[in-house]
Structure 1
Amino acid sequence: MTPEEINEKMEGITFDHPTWPMSKIRQSFIDFYVQKHSHVFWPSSPCVPHDDPTLLFANAGMNQYKPLFLGTCDPALEMSKLKRATNTQKCIRAGGKHNDLDDVGKDVYHHTFFEMMGNWSFGDYFKEGAIDMSWQCLTEVYSLDTDRLYATYFGGDEKTPADEEAKKYLLKHLPASRVLPFDAHDNFWEMGATGPCGPCVEFHYDRIGGRDAADLVNADLPDVIEIWNNVFIQYNREAGGELRDLPAQHIDTGMGFERLASILQGFDSNYDTDIFMPIFKAIEIVTGASPYTGKVGEKEDMGFKDMAYRVVADHLRTLTFAIADGAIPSNDGRGYVLRRVLRRAVRYGRQNLGAELGFFSTLVPTLVKLMGDAFPEIRKREEFVINIIKEEETSFSRTLDKGLTKFNDMVKVTEGGVFSGANAHFLYTSMGFPVDLTELMCEEKGLKLDVAGFDAKMKEEQELSQAAHKAKMSGGSGKEMVLEAEQTAALVTRGCQVTESEAKYTWNADIDSKISAAFIGRGETDDKTGFVDSITTASGAAGLIFDATNFYAEQGGQIYDQGTVTCGDAVFRVDNVQVFGGYVLHLGEVVKGTFSVGSSATLAVNYIRRGPIASNHTMTHVLNYALRDVMIGKENIGSDDGPQLDQKGSLVDDQKLRFDFSWGSQVTVDQLAKIEAKCLAQIQQNIKVHTFNAPLADASQISALRAVFGEKYPDPVRVVSVCDTPIPEILKKPTEEIWKDYSIEFCGGTHLDKTGEAEAFVILSEEGIAKGIRRITAVTQERAREATNAARGFALRVKAAEEMAGAELQDEAKKLKLELQTLSISCISKHDLGTALNGLQAKVKEWQTKQMAAKVDGAAEACKTSVEAAKAAGKNKCVVRYDFGCDGKTAQKILKAVAKDVAVMIFSADAGAGKYGCFASSPKVAGVDCKKWIADAFDGIGGRGGGKPANAQWQVEGLDSLDAAVTKAGSI
Structure 2
Amino acid sequence: MWTSKQLREAFTGYFRKRGHEIIESSSVVPLDDDTLLFTNSGMVQFKSNLLGVKNKFSGVRRACSVQRCIRAGGKHNDLDDVGKDTYHHTFFEMMGNWSFGDYFKKEAIDYAWDFLVNILKISGDRLYATYFHDEASDVDPDTETKRLWSRYLPLSHIVKGSFRNNFWEMGDTGPCGPCSEIHFDRIGGRDASGLVNTDDPDVLEVWNLVFMQYNRTDSGMDKLRVPSIDTGIGFERLLSILNNVRSNYLTDLFVPLFEYIRNEGDLDEYKDTISGPSAGVDAGYRILADHSRTIAVCLHYGVVPSNEGRGYVLRRICRRAVRCAQETLGLKAGVLERLVEKAAGILGISLEESVLRAVSREEALFGRTLNRGIVLFKKLAAKGSTISGRDAFVLYDTYGFPLDLTKILAAENNATVDEEEFHRERERSRMLSREARRRPFSLPESSITTDDRYKYLENGIDAELLFQSEREGEVGCVFDKTCFYYECGGQVGDSGVITFYEDGVKVGVLAVADTQMISGNIFHIGKLDGRTAAAARLVFDSDRRDKIKKSHTGVHILYYFLRKTLLDEVIEQKGSLVEAGRLRFDFSCSRALGTEEIRDIEAKMNSLVDEDCSVEVEVVKFEGLDPSVTRNTNEEYPEYVRNVRVLWKNDTIQDLCGGVHVKRTSEIERIRIISETGVSLNTRRIVALTGEAAARAEEDARRLLEAGSAEGALPTIPLVERREIERIRDARAKALDEKRVKTIMEQLKRANELVLQLRTEALMADGKERPFVSFEYDGSCISTKDVRKQVRKVMDIFEKNGINGIAYCFVNGGVHLVLSQECGDVLERIRGCLDSTSVRTVDRFYICYGTVGTKEAFIAAVIK
TM-score in terms of structure 1 length: 0.49
Does the CA-based 8 Å contact 1:320-1:385 persist in structure 2?
no
Q: What is the CA-CA distance between 1:382 and the residue it aligns to?
A: 4.0
- Cα offsets for 1:745-770 (capped at 9, x unmatched): 9x9989x9x9967534478999987x
Number of the residue aligned with 1:966? none
Does the CA-based 8 Å contact 2:571-2:587 persist in structure 1?
yes
Does the CA-based 8 Å contact 1:21-1:274 persist in structure 2?
yes
Number of the residue aligned with 1:92? 70
C-alpha spacing 1:407/1:277, structure 2 compared with 1 (3 Å) = closer
Number of the residue aligned with 1:548? none
For structure 2, list consecutive stretches of 5 or more residues without a partner in the other structure.
Answer: 431-488, 491-547, 612-648, 657-661, 697-715, 720-864
Give, in whole Å, the separation in 1 of the partners of 2:66 and 2:245. Answer: 22
Give, in whole Å, the separation in 2 of the partners of 1:130 and 1:201. Answer: 10
Number of the residue aligned with 2:291? 315
Number of the residue aligned with 1:42? 23
Q: What is the CA-CA distance between 1:91 and the residue it aligns to?
A: 0.9
Q: What is the CA-CA distance between 1:58 and the residue it aligns to?
A: 0.9
Number of the residue aligned with 2:229? 251
Does the CA-based 8 Å contact 2:302-2:682 persist in structure 1?
no
Q: What is the CA-CA distance between 1:258 and the residue it aligns to?
A: 0.9
Number of the residue aligned with 2:43? 62
| Mapping of residues 207-286 of structure 1, within 5 Å | 207-239=186-218, 242-286=220-264
Q: Does 1:618 align with 2:557?
A: yes
Number of the residue aligned with 2:9? 27
1:436 to 399, 404, 426: 404
C-alpha spacing 1:121/1:828, structure 2 compared with 1 (3 Å) = same
Give, in whole Å, the separation in 1 of the partners of 2:151 and 2:577. Answer: 60
1:340 to 316, 322, 332: 316
Does the CA-based 8 Å contact 2:550-2:668 persist in structure 1?
no
1:165 to 119, 141, 144: 144
Q: What is the CA-CA distance between 1:305 and the residue it aligns to?
A: 1.2
Give, in whole Å, the separation in 1 of the partners of 2:589 and 2:577. Answer: 22
Letter in 2 for 1:448: T
Does the CA-based 8 Å contact 1:138-1:144 persist in structure 2?
yes
Number of the residue aligned with 1:393? 363
C-alpha spacing 1:244/1:263, structure 2 compared with 1 (3 Å) = same
C-alpha spacing 1:263/1:459, structure 2 compared with 1 (3 Å) = farther
Give, in whole Å, the separation in 2 of the partners of 1:427 and 1:787. Answer: 50
Number of the residue aligned with 1:450? 418
Give, in whole Å, the separation in 1 of the partners of 2:245 and 2:319. Answer: 30
SS at match of 1:272: coil
SS at match of 1:80: coil
SS at match of 1:161: coil
Q: Point out which structure has higher relative CO (alpha carbons under 8 A, 6+ apart).
A: 1
Letter in 2 for 1:192: G
Q: What is the CA-CA distance between 1:426 and the residue it aligns to?
A: 6.5
What is the root-mean-square deviation of aligned Cα atoms in Å?
A: 4.8
C-alpha spacing 1:615/1:398, structure 2 compared with 1 (3 Å) = same
C-alpha spacing 1:610/1:80, structure 2 compared with 1 (3 Å) = farther
Q: What is the CA-CA distance between 1:247 and the residue it aligns to?
A: 3.4
Letter in 1 for 2:13: D
Give, in whole Å, the separation in 2 of the partners of 1:674 and 1:432. Answer: 43
C-alpha spacing 1:688/1:220, structure 2 compared with 1 (3 Å) = farther
C-alpha spacing 1:345/1:234, structure 2 compared with 1 (3 Å) = same
Q: Does 1:776 align with 2:757?
A: no
C-alpha spacing 1:442/1:173, structure 2 compared with 1 (3 Å) = closer
Q: Does 1:103 align with 2:90?
A: no
SS at match of 1:38: coil
C-alpha spacing 1:405/1:308, structure 2 compared with 1 (3 Å) = closer
Does the CA-based 8 Å contact 2:674-2:689 persist in structure 1?
no
Q: What is the CA-CA distance between 1:430 and the residue it aligns to?
A: 6.9
Letter in 2 for 1:137: F
Number of the residue aligned with 2:669? 759
Q: What is the CA-CA distance between 1:130 and the residue it aligns to?
A: 1.0
Q: What is the CA-CA distance between 1:418 and the residue it aligns to?
A: 4.4
Letter in 2 for 1:90: R
Give, in whole Å, the separation in 2 of the partners of 1:460 and 1:98. Answer: 28
Give, in whole Å, the separation in 1 of the partners of 2:297 and 2:146. Answer: 38
C-alpha spacing 1:159/1:766, structure 2 compared with 1 (3 Å) = farther
Letter in 2 for 1:393: E
Does the CA-based 8 Å contact 1:94-1:112 persist in structure 2?
yes
Q: What is the CA-CA distance between 1:178 and the residue it aligns to?
A: 0.7
Letter in 1 for 2:168: W
Does the CA-based 8 Å contact 1:45-1:89 persist in structure 2?
yes
Q: What is the CA-CA distance between 1:294 and the residue it aligns to?
A: 1.6
Letter in 2 for 1:369: G
- Cα offsets for 1:614-633 (capped at 9, x unmatched): 7534313556899x9xxxxx
Q: Does 1:359 align with 2:269?
A: no
Letter in 2 for 1:387: R
Give, in whole Å, the separation in 2 of the partners of 1:90 and 1:124. Answer: 25
Does the CA-based 8 Å contact 2:678-2:685 persist in structure 1?
no
Give, in whole Å, the separation in 2 of the partners of 1:257 and 1:460. Answer: 44
2:126 to 148, 161, 165: 148
Q: What is the CA-CA distance between 1:441 and the residue it aligns to?
A: 4.7
Q: Does 1:181 align with 2:160?
A: yes
Give, in whole Å, the separation in 2 of the partners of 1:102 and 1:827. Answer: 53
- Cα offsets for 1:519-556 (capped at 9, x unmatched): xxxxxxxxxxxxxxxxxxxxxxxxxxxxxxxxxxxxxx
C-alpha spacing 1:768/1:683, structure 2 compared with 1 (3 Å) = closer
Give, in whole Å, the separation in 1 of the partners of 2:552 and 2:114. Answer: 55
| Mapping of residues 713-862 of structure 1, within 5 Å | 759-761=669-671, 772-774=681-683, 776=685
Does the CA-based 8 Å contact 1:154-1:188 persist in structure 2?
yes
TM-score in terms of structure 2 length: 0.55
SS at match of 1:271: coil
SS at match of 2:179: strand
C-alpha spacing 1:31/1:623, structure 2 compared with 1 (3 Å) = closer
Give, in whole Å, the separation in 2 of the partners of 1:146 and 1:60. Answer: 27
Does the CA-based 8 Å contact 1:661-1:774 persist in structure 2?
yes
| Mapping of residues 204-603 of structure 1, within 5 Å | 204-239=183-218, 242-297=220-275, 299-301=276-278, 304-372=280-348, 378-379=349-350, 381-400=351-370, 418-421=386-389, 424=392, 427-428=395-396, 432-442=400-410, 448-454=416-422
Give, in whole Å, the separation in 2 of the partners of 1:198 and 1:460. Answer: 44
Letter in 2 for 1:336: Y
Q: What is the CA-CA distance between 1:132 and the residue it aligns to?
A: 1.3
C-alpha spacing 1:351/1:277, structure 2 compared with 1 (3 Å) = same
| Mapping of residues 892-971 of structure 1, within 5 Å | none
Q: What is the CA-CA distance between 1:327 and the residue it aligns to?
A: 0.8
C-alpha spacing 1:663/1:229, structure 2 compared with 1 (3 Å) = closer
Give, in whole Å, the separation in 2 of the partners of 1:152 and 1:460. Answer: 49
Letter in 2 for 1:250: S
Q: What is the CA-CA distance between 1:44 and the residue it aligns to?
A: 0.6
Q: What is the CA-CA distance between 1:370 and the residue it aligns to?
A: 2.2
Q: What is the CA-CA distance between 1:421 and the residue it aligns to?
A: 3.8
| Mapping of residues 2-17 of structure 1, within 5 Å | 17=1
Q: What is the CA-CA distance between 1:369 and the residue it aligns to?
A: 3.1
- Cα offsets for 1:127-165 (capped at 9, x unmatched): 122111111111111111010000011113332121112
Give, in whole Å, the separation in 2 of the partners of 1:426 and 1:254. Answer: 42
Letter in 1 for 2:406: T
- Cα offsets for 1:339-362 (capped at 9, x unmatched): 111111221122222210010111
Does the CA-based 8 Å contact 2:69-2:93 persist in structure 1?
yes
Does the CA-based 8 Å contact 2:99-2:230 persist in structure 1?
yes
2:53 to 61, 72, 77: 72
Does the CA-based 8 Å contact 1:623-1:675 persist in structure 2?
no
For structure 1, list consecutive stretches of 5 or more residues without a partner in the other structure.
Answer: 1-16, 373-377, 463-556, 559-608, 629-636, 639-644, 690-725, 728-744, 790-825, 830-972
Does the CA-based 8 Å contact 1:758-1:780 persist in structure 2?
no
Give, in whole Å, the separation in 2 of the partners of 1:131 and 1:827. Answer: 67
C-alpha spacing 1:392/1:179, structure 2 compared with 1 (3 Å) = same
1:134 to 112, 135, 146: 112
SS at match of 1:151: strand
